[in-house]
Homo-oligomer: A and B are copies of this chain.
Amino acid sequence: MKNPFSINSKIEICKNGECFLNARRVELLIKVHEYGSINGASRALKMSYQQAWHFLKHMNGLSPLPLVSISRGGVSGGGAAITDYGLKVIEEYKQISETMNEFTTEQSTKIEFCNF
């Protein structure tokens, strides 16, 4: 008999009790890296520009080094670029996330209260 229950763990990486990283925020960082702008990333994620902007500002504020560097004006109007440090953070988040998922999947198989 298949276990109909699964453990779903949503991880956040926090600092001072505030959310620094979660799945959505990392997704945003990745899209910013892909599009080179907050605008493009927010549209791609169907997220409002304000929310994307707020998340990025908040993440940068909590981070020991900037994750994203933002510029205004200029030839292309400006844009946003993920820093080398930001790229490292993204990669490490992915690793942690995968490790956690493996563990929760393993734990899911041990649930006993489904045997009724």
Contacts and interface: CB of A to CB of B under 8 A. Distances in A.
A24 to B, nearest CB: 14
A14 interface: yes
Contact of A116 (B9, B16, B65): B65
Q: How many copies does the complex hold?
A: 2
Interface stretch (A39-47, A49-57, A88-96): A88-96
Interface residues of A, number: 32
B96 A107 contact: yes
Interface in A1-25: 4-16, 19-20
Closest 8 CB pairs of A and B: A8-B12, A64-B116, A9-B11, A9-B9, A89-B113, A8-B14, A10-B10, A65-B116
Interface of A: 4-16, 19-20, 64-65, 85, 88-89, 92, 96, 99-100, 103-104, 107, 111-114, 116
